[in-house]
Amino acid sequence: MNASRVDRRVRALPARLRWAALAACVGTFVSVVALAAAERNVGATTAPEAGTATAAARGLERLLLRAYLPPDFDQQVFDDLWTTWEEPARARAEQADMPERRRMAMERYGLTPHPDDPSRSMQYVVDPSSGSWTMSCLACHQGQVDGRVIPGLPNANYALETLTEEVRMVKVRQRKPFGHMDVGSLFLPLGTTNGTTNAVMFGVALMRHRDPDLSIVQRPPRFDLVHHDMDAPPWWHYAKRRSLYADGFAPKGHRILMQFLLVKENGPEKLHGWEDEFRDIERWIESLEAPRWPWPVEATLAEKGRAIFLQHCADCHGTYDPAGPARETYPDRIVDIAEVGTDRVRFDSLTAKERGELNNSWFGHMGADAAIMKDRESPAGYVAPPLDGIWASAPYLHNGSVPTLWHLLHPAQRPAVWKRTATGYDRARVGLEVEEMEKMPTGTGQEKLSSAERRRHFDTSKPGKSAKGHDFPDALDEEEKTAVLEYLKTL
Ligand code: HEC
Ligand code: HEC
């Protein structure tokens, strides 16, 4: 791309996004997305398309720059986190200079350095005057593969619980007040394995404190929560899905995207006031496209795999075409829980009443969306998700229990316990680079495993974490599985 074209595109962007576009040469996330939006904007011949591109660019800008929640901690707290680490990490940090310590902290908590300023992370909005850090949607919804930042990829490294625990310790020492996460995590687990979170139960707990039009309920009746960790789905599925979440009960729309913001500081007026901003955020999410496998593919083998996929998988997962979504099909099929056979805790954790209440509230446009979706208050099982860009979104299944596509295709060989490397990618098995174990390690000698280290392991024997089920690939022989694996790389 020549300089004058870049310049023209950059000038077409809102002022605060220009920094991002200018970084295009290094291929950073923001610039790629902002440029794609600007390109559609500049090249658009019809006004509505141009409007969508601008709205999407604005949506991204909001996600990166706007704090919708109260702050979590300040820079001083972040920079002292290393003092709480176990050895030898602590000693290594002590020897390091500040930029290196910050890099180590980002790696420990699964954060991605901001392309504009590596001292802060993309997952938190940092206020330049106060230095406060506020968690954003990107905390769970922005990850990386093999060092590449891919827009809308779930964050498979996020160590939310470890970060919150260590922030609390530093705040006690610095005599600073606790924030909503610091307090919340004393009442409910945030995530027992890095990369997955108890987000669904945060949602249920927050909803319990609101009436249908969002007013705050001071003393909600007692309620039970079935804690379990979920792997967030990639955002580039949004355009294809007709409804949301693993069991497909929630309506699509800008309002449901705000569910995570229901802390008591955000009263109904604030949420109403943010509707337009979330329309823009929805446009951005909708505009995302699945990333392409960046390495070579064996074309003949993949072609063989395509035929097998059509025969064994496409009924549930749809068909795929390099020419784009217009030539594809997606059945949006809910598969009975007994038939799919994957972990059922997520399925059982919500009652029809809870699903109904969400649909009948402001989030479901006071029931208008539920009327369209009809039977989704009591779904029969899990939605068979689209498989676009599936190579990038490991780990697999709704609970993130299966580390690679090879393991997904070999149900009997899925590891009981696995631990991923910090950022390693397994190109042969397509997914996370992992160490496999038969059971959880207990630590060596007197040393018990620290909680930070324990959360680096995925233990499939724990409730909600089973890697069983989805045995459909067992209908294939080994040669067919190899061909399907090759084909999956091309989606
Ligand atoms: C703590 C982690 C976390 C944060 C923060 C978070 N999400 Fe999510 N999100 C999840 C998980 C987990 C799911 C899957 C829930 C399910 O399927 O039951 C999800 C699902 C979604 C989906 C549905 C996708 C689909 O295909 O079904 C959308 C859209 C979404 N989130 C948008 C947002 C937005 C917008 C924000 C910020 C306001 C946000 N999320 C903040 C964890 C998070
Ligand atoms: C009867 C319907 C059905 C058939 C047939 C089927 N699947 Fe699935 N698949 C599902 C459902 C439902 C899920 C979600 C299960 C969960 O998350 O617990 C799923 C999940 C997956 C996932 C993980 C998706 C993710 O984002 O984590 C992959 C990959 C996958 N299937 C590939 C295949 C392949 C390859 C075949 C053919 C060999 C196949 N499936 C056959 C229903 C089906």
Q: Please check whether residue 151 lies inside any domain of the structure.
A: no
Q: Tell me the mean pLDDT in the region 52-68.
A: 91
Q: Please check whether residue 210 lies inside any domain of the structure.
A: yes
pLDDT at 44 > cutoff 60: no
Q: Please check whether residue 144 lies inside any domain of the structure.
A: no
Q: Dump pLDDT digits (tens) for 263-312.
A: 889 999 999 999 999 999 999 999 999 999 999 999 999 999 999 999 99
pLDDT at 16 > cutoff 60: no
Grade residue 13 by pLDDT with cuts at 50, 70 and 90.
very low
Boundary residue ending a domain (62, 80, 96): 62
Q: Dump pLDDT digits (tens) for 390-411.
A: 999 999 999 999 999 999 999 9
Atom 13 (ligand 1) nearest CA: 232
Same domain, 164 and 264: no
Domain span including residue 463: 299-333+384-489
Same domain, 254 and 328: no
Same domain, 390 and 415: yes
Q: Is residue 139 lining ligand 1, measured as CB closer than 6 Å?
A: yes
Distance of CA 440 from the midpoint of ligand 1 (Å)? 29
Q: Is residue 34 lining ligand 1, measured as CB closer than 6 Å?
A: no
- pLDDT recorded at residue 80: 97
Q: Is residue 197 lining ligand 1, measured as CB closer than 6 Å?
A: yes
Q: Is residue 137 lining ligand 1, measured as CB closer than 6 Å?
A: yes
Same domain, 311 and 405: yes
Same domain, 112 and 22: no
Boundary residue ending a domain (62, 79, 98): 62
pLDDT at 34 > cutoff 80: no
Same domain, 211 and 247: yes
- pLDDT recorded at residue 18: 37
Same domain, 205 and 328: no
Q: Please check whether residue 338 lies inside any domain of the structure.
A: no
Lowest mean pLDDT among 10-24, 218-232, 236-250, 474-488: 10-24
Integer CA distances (angstroms), 62 to 14, 21, 363, 489, in order: 12, 16, 20, 32
Same domain, 33 and 171: no
Distance CA 344, CA 342 (A): 6
Which residues fall within 8 angstroms of residue 310, CB to CB, at 6 or more apart?
319
- pLDDT recorded at residue 30: 47
Lowest mean pLDDT among 214-223, 295-304, 308-317, 377-386: 214-223
Atom 3 (ligand 1) nearest CA: 140
Distance of CA 397 from the midpoint of ligand 2 (Å)? 8
Grade residue 167 by pLDDT with cuts at 50, 70 and 90.
very high
Q: Please check whether residue 142 lies inside any domain of the structure.
A: no
Give the count of domains, the chain. 4
Same domain, 95 and 178: yes
Q: Tell me the mean pLDDT in the region 450-461.
A: 95
Distance of CA 387 from the midpoint of ligand 2 (Å)? 8
CB 370 within 8 A of CB 468: no
Q: Is residue 393 lining ligand 2, measured as CB closer than 6 Å?
A: yes
Specify the long-range contacts of residues 6-15, CB closer than 8 Å, at least 24 apart: 8/42, 9/35, 9/38, 9/39, 9/42, 10/38, 12/38, 12/41, 12/42, 13/38, 13/57, 14/54, 14/57, 14/58, 14/61
Same domain, 52 and 87: no
Same domain, 186 and 305: no
- pLDDT recorded at residue 218: 84
Predicted model pTM:
0.91
Which residue carries 């799919």 as its tokens? 340
Q: Please check whether residue 280 lies inside any domain of the structure.
A: yes
- Please give the mean pLDDT across all residues of the chain: 88
Q: Please check whether residue 155 lies inside any domain of the structure.
A: no
Q: Please check whether residue 149 lies inside any domain of the structure.
A: no
CB 316 within 8 A of CB 335: yes
- pLDDT recorded at residue 17: 42
- pLDDT recorded at residue 48: 53
Same domain, 284 and 216: yes
Q: Tell me the mean pLDDT in the region 84-90.
A: 94
Q: Is residue 392 lining ligand 2, measured as CB closer than 6 Å?
A: no
Q: Is residue 346 lining ligand 2, measured as CB closer than 6 Å?
A: no
